[in-house]
Amino acid sequence: MEEFFTWVGQTLGQIIRFVVDLLTGFFANIGSAARGFLDGLSGALGISPSLISLVVLVIGLWLLWKGFRALMRRAILATLIWLLLGFVVLSWLIY
């Protein structure tokens, strides 16, 4: 009977060790993967990989999204305003 519980304890310990090692490896590499993604994105767009540039990029894309949503509502004037604002913001970044 004691051997059974020893086996169960060892098996449970190995499973826990595997999960901890897996999560440690995942979270150790996620930072470098995110950095590589942001460097690739900023390199393809021709912008600096700073946090401010990426925030302005997100704002510009959000303005374009608002423009396309206004277009779906058939609000032509709002579409023109949102798209113009989005293009202006994005033109500050991409030159």
**Cα–Cα distance between 63 and 56 in angstroms, integer?**
11
Q: What is the pLDDT of residue 25?
A: 85
Model pTM score: 0.67
Q: 60: burial class by Cβ within 10 Å (0-12, 13-18, 19+)?
A: buried
Model pLDDT for residues 11-68, shown as the tens digit of each residue = 999 999 999 999 988 888 888 888 889 899 888 888 888 889 989 999 999 999 999 9
